[in-house]
A and B are shown apart, each in its own frame.
Chain A
Amino acid sequence: MNNLNLSKEIMAEYFGDDEQNFKKRSQIGEIWRRMRKNKTAVLGLVIIAIFAFLAIFAGIICDYDSMAIHQNIAERLQGPSAAHWFGTDTYGRDVFARVIHGGRISLSVGFISVSISALFGGLLGATAGLYGGKVDNLIMRFMDAVVSIPSMLLTLALVAALGHGIRNLLIAITIGQIPAFTRIVRASVLSVSSQEFVESARSYGTSTFRIIYRHIIPNAIGPIIVQATMSIAGTILQISGLSFLGMGIEAPAPEWGSMLSEARPIMRSSPHLVMFPGMAIVLAALAMNLIGDGLRDALDPKLKD
């Protein structure tokens, strides 16, 4: 006890009397503190929070069946007004209702597919990095092959093979995302496992599982989170692109891309029908990209103040 107090005194001499200096700030708190300083990242967080709010409560804000699906020919092709904030489409459906219900699809497919591909890609990457040799070679050559297939072609072929619908779209998009995560995790594993603290952990008999859990995951998690955030932005664009081509989510369901493809023939007379769904895609993707950028800076130890 005496010893501890003494060392505290010495520390206080060096670092000032601030008690905080002795407390180890939690990693997450530290990252959050640095994210908060980054104005664009905060903007991204605010936008995505609004989108998430609208998506979660979409059913309460605008009823799905009566406003986003039910056709009301009497009110077709109206411009934006107080009753219909974003106007109505060819079938008299409320565009605002369709946009927020569309957000539900894009955001959930984006988050879920990226989480699953991060998990599988991470496992594959960790396996490749830890076992090395033949296993590594096999996994990485397979990933090289997947990467060299144009991603649009791969997802289109998968959707054609599996059939339309949200579940199959999710599978198709997830598969295309896996290689990026495999590469990141493999690289992290290789760089971490050659470092001295891992070697020393091994030398006193730490199990492989514990090394993965205590050393490799905490060191690899940063790049994975950044990649995941950026991937969600990419996924949002990809879902809308597939639906625009008629290969994503089927017709009456309100998906941003399919709304655009429906609106395309009449965009000259009703430009609001291509404006609003498009703006939704841009804002959602932009928000995720801003957050990803902010996270990359916040997680970069070189940029620590």
Chain B
Amino acid sequence: MSRYVLKRLLMMIPIILIVSFIVFSILSLTPGNPGQIILGATAEKEDVDALNHELGYDRPFLERYINYISDALHGDFGLSYSNRRPVFEEIFNAFPISLKLSLLAIITAVVLGIPLGVLSAVKQYSIVDNICTVLAMVFASVPGFWLSLMLILLFSLKLEWLPSHGMDTPLHYILPVFTMSVSSAASFMRLTRTSMLETIRQDYVRTARSKGVPEKVVISRYALKNALLPVITVIGSYFGILLGGTVLTESVFALPGLGTVILQAIRMKNVPMVMGATIFLASMFSIIILVTDIVCAFVDPRVRAMYSKK
């Protein structure tokens, strides 16, 4: 098991390197140069050139990339162009907000999606099932930012129940977390339903029923455990996607999270900031996927057995 984890962690290194290379290449295509961006459009050409030289921007592309990586390996991800503060200081200031939003959203999605999925499967083709299936389909197709606007219109502007921006009280979290969770909740519901329907048709469930085990126990103790495995597998990747996709929600609700920081950095062509944030998010994503895989192995006795033999 520990060998497997170690191997996976080692595999992250080339992936993060490729990520950094891809993003570095894209950003080097961006028009403009850092000297101009930091000093502004009115700066003297000599000052701009001097700053570009100081930042190493006048060197060839590959040399700049290798310098960036070797600095990064020493823990130096550069200074943000906008306020000359270390990139990771900025990231760590903004990240907790995005993390809190994504965590609350994934929990909401699980709490909403899985029970509804089970209910739909158990009462297949009933009214409840039809309503849930249709709603899941619709919510999977609703853009989060538009849903946010509609909910702000209803709950903040018309009814004045909930605040429309900022994050001072727990009430502030309701709308952003709900809109972020909706599409994942829809996916979890559909997935749980499908998997549950497959499970309750299996022989061991029929055996349990024929032995006279009460239906509730059959569902909750016999079927649910197996039916939830495929759902658990995807929860991790959905969490990773939510974490990297907070930009729109943060923009609508004016929240100062990592998404907002990245959007500003991209608009300002703040290269070190975008690089740092991308490497950070890609690493988080890989770690989340790794943790999910380990959890799955731990939960599923079949997978666990496969690894303990090795």
Instruction: Name A's B-contacting residues (CB within 8 A).
Output: 40, 141-142, 144-146, 148-154, 156-158, 160-163, 233, 237, 240-241, 244-245, 247, 257, 260, 264, 267-268, 271, 274, 278, 281-282, 285-286, 288-290, 293
Give the chain B neighbours of A245 by CB distance below 8 A: 247-248, 251, 263
Q: Which of B27, B30, B141 has the most CB of A within 10 A?
A: B141
Task: Tell whether, in the assembled complex, residue B247 and residue A40 are in contact, meaning their CB atoms are under 8 Å apart.
Answer: no
Task: Tell whether, in the assembled complex, residue A282 and residue B143 are in contact, meaning their CB atoms are under 8 Å apart.
Answer: yes
Of B31, B143, B150, B247, the residue contacting A156 (CB under 8 A) is: B247
Give the chain A neighbours of B266 by CB distance below 8 A: 156-157, 160, 247
Closest to B138 in A: A286
Give the chain A neighbours of B30 by CB distance below 8 A: 160-161
Given A148-B19, A150-B281, A156-B266: A161 touches B149 (CB 8 Å cut-off): no
Is B14 on the interface with A (CB-CB < 8 A)? yes
Give the chain B neighbours of A151 by CB distance below 8 A: 241, 244-245
7 nearest A-B pairs in the assembled complex, by CB-CB distance: A150-B244, A145-B18, A285-B141, A286-B141, A278-B146, A161-B29, A148-B282
Task: Tell whether, in the assembled complex, residue A153 and residue B26 are in contact, meaning their CB atoms are under 8 Å apart.
Answer: no
Task: Tell whether, in the assembled complex, residue A152 and residue B282 are in contact, meaning their CB atoms are under 8 Å apart.
Answer: no
Q: Which residues 244-290 of B sit at the A interface, judged by CB distance below 8 A?
A: 244-245, 247-248, 251, 259, 262-263, 266-267, 269, 274, 277-278, 281-282, 285-286, 289
Closest chain A CB from B146 CB (angstroms): 4
0 or 1 for each of B16-51: is its CB under 8 Å from A? (1 = yes): 101100110011011100000000000000000000
Is B1 on the interface with A (CB-CB < 8 A)? no
Closest chain A CB from B32 CB (angstroms): 10
Closest chain B CB from A75 CB (angstroms): 24
Give the chain B neighbours of A271 by CB distance below 8 A: 153
Instruction: Name B's A-contacting residues (CB within 8 A).
Output: 14-16, 18-19, 22-23, 26-27, 29-31, 137-138, 140-143, 145-146, 149-150, 152-153, 157, 241, 243-245, 247-248, 251, 259, 262-263, 266-267, 269, 274, 277-278, 281-282, 285-286, 289
Q: Which of A150, A151, A233, A240 has the most CB of B within 10 A?
A: A150
Task: Tell whether, in the assembled complex, residue A260 and residue B18 are in contact, meaning their CB atoms are under 8 Å apart.
Answer: no
Closest to A285 in B: B141
Closest to A293 in B: B137
Of B18, B31, B146, the residue contacting A281 (CB under 8 A) is: B146
Q: Please report the C-alpha to C-alpha distance between residue A268 and residue B278 in the assembled complex, in whole angstroms.
A: 36
Task: Tell whether, in the assembled complex, residue B145 and residue A153 are in contact, meaning their CB atoms are under 8 Å apart.
Answer: no
Task: Tell whether, in the assembled complex, residue A149 and residue B278 are in contact, meaning their CB atoms are under 8 Å apart.
Answer: yes
Given A40-B137, A240-B143, A241-B143: A152 touches B149 (CB 8 Å cut-off): no
Task: Tell whether, in the assembled complex, residue A281 and residue B19 are in contact, meaning their CB atoms are under 8 Å apart.
Answer: no
Closest to B282 in A: A148
Give the chain B neighbours of A160 by CB distance below 8 A: 27, 30, 266-267, 269
Closest chain B CB from A278 CB (angstroms): 4
A selection of 20 A-B contacts at a CB cut-off of 8 Å is A145-B16, A149-B22, A150-B243, A150-B245, A150-B278, A150-B285, A152-B248, A153-B281, A156-B263, A157-B274, A161-B30, A245-B248, A257-B143, A260-B146, A267-B152, A268-B157, A274-B150, A278-B146, A286-B137, A288-B141
Q: Please report the C-alpha to C-alpha distance between residue A210 and residue B143 in the assembled complex, in whole angstroms.
A: 43
Of A148, A241, A278, A289, the residue contacting B285 (CB under 8 A) is: A148
Closest chain B CB from A89 CB (angstroms): 15
Task: Tell whether, in the assembled complex, residue B19 and residue A289 are in contact, meaning their CB atoms are under 8 Å apart.
Answer: no
Q: Please report the C-alpha to C-alpha distance between residue A271 and residue B26 in the assembled complex, in whole angstroms.
A: 39
Q: Please report the C-alpha to C-alpha distance between residue A237 and residue B140 in the assembled complex, in whole angstroms.
A: 10
Task: Tell whether, in the assembled complex, residue A149 and residue B19 are in contact, meaning their CB atoms are under 8 Å apart.
Answer: yes
Task: Tell whether, in the assembled complex, residue A157 and residue B247 are in contact, meaning their CB atoms are under 8 Å apart.
Answer: no
Give the chain B neighbours of A145 by CB distance below 8 A: 15-16, 18-19, 22, 282
Closest chain A CB from B305 CB (angstroms): 25
Of A40, A233, A260, A290, the residue contacting B145 (CB under 8 A) is: A260
Q: Please report the C-alpha to C-alpha distance between residue A252 and residue B141 in the assembled complex, in whole angstroms.
A: 26
Task: Tell whether, in the assembled complex, residue B145 and residue A289 are in contact, meaning their CB atoms are under 8 Å apart.
Answer: no
Task: Tell whether, in the assembled complex, residue B247 and residue A158 are in contact, meaning their CB atoms are under 8 Å apart.
Answer: no
Give the chain B neighbours of A281 by CB distance below 8 A: 143, 146
Q: Please report the C-alpha to C-alpha distance between residue A145 and residue B142 in the assembled complex, in whole angstroms.
A: 28
Of A40, A154, A260, A282, the residue contacting B142 (CB under 8 A) is: A282
